[in-house]
């Protein structure tokens, strides 16, 4: 087995969390290299594109969160082997990443500028993405997004919805998902109750 080292912020969310969850669920040993937000300016100097997460595989540093998550999904059996099911999985990964990019653009804003930007998201793009994700979930049986089983697509959506519900995003109502896409909220709660996921967060004392 390759030596793996995942570098990402020390919090339970964001682009590095699906890969962390997948490796934990798959029993894959890895170095969980977490750092405080205040250290990002220094950490990014050693990354290929000035961003995280990065994954070292036997000392070789790889960037791009979805590429990392997909690789880890293959290692752990949480990525479909069927080409069409893999396509459905990738479609969800990319859609959530598009939403993450829009949300990420609001970080660093303050005061009225932050309120205006987040309110615009709540009134436009977020309902669009949440509605589409819910329709995809329901179109494929209502429990999982692809392959009729838990995949990295479910983990990516789980982390996204969990973040929206967290109360850590100013001007994003914590009941937004429940109001607009209740099936997604139920999906998030179901994934949270998966024994391996519950164990992962219990290890950190995280809710």
Assign a CATH topology to domain 83-193.
Answer: Glutathione S-transferase Yfyf (Class Pi); Chain A, domain 2 (1.20.1050)
**Contact between 12 and 34 (Cβ < 8 Å):** no
Q: Which CATH number fits domain 4-77: 3.40.50.1450, 3.40.30.10, 3.20.20.70, 3.90.550.10?
A: 3.40.30.10
Confidence at residue 150, expressed as pLDDT on a 0 to 100 scale: 98
Confidence at residue 99, expressed as pLDDT on a 0 to 100 scale: 97
What is the pTM assigned to this prediction? 0.96
Domain boundaries, the chain: 4-77, 83-193
Nearest partner of 48 among 36, 56, 58, 39, judged by Cα: 56
Report, as ranges of residue numbers, the positions in the chain whose pLDDT lies below 70: 206-207
């Amino acid at each position: 087995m390759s030596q793996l080292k995942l570098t990402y912020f020390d919090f339970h969310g964001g682009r590095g969390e699906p890969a962390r969850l997948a490796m934990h669920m798959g029993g894959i040993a890895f170095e969980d290299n977490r750092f405080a937000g205040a250290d990002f300016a220094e950490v990014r100097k050693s990354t290929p594109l000035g961003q995280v997460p990065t994954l070292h595989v036997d000392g070789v540093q790889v960037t791009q969160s979805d590429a990392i998550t997909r690789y880890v999904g293959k290692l752990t059996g949480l990525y479909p082997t069927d080409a069409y099911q893999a396509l459905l999985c990738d479609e969800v990964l990319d859609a959530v990443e598009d939403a993450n990019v829009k949300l990420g653009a609001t970080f660093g804003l303050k005061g009225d500028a932050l309120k205006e930007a987040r309110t615009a998201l709540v009134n436009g793009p977020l309902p669009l993405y949440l509605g589409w994700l819910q329709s995809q979930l329901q179109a494929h049986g209502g429990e999982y997004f692809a392959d009729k089983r838990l995949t990295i697509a479910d983990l990516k959506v789980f982390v996204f919805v969990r973040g929206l519900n967290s109360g850590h995003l100013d001007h994003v109502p914590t009941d937004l998902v429940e109001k607009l896409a209740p099936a997604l909220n139920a999906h998030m709660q179901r994934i949270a109750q998966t024994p391996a996921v519950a164990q992962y967060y219990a290890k950190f004392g995280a809710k």
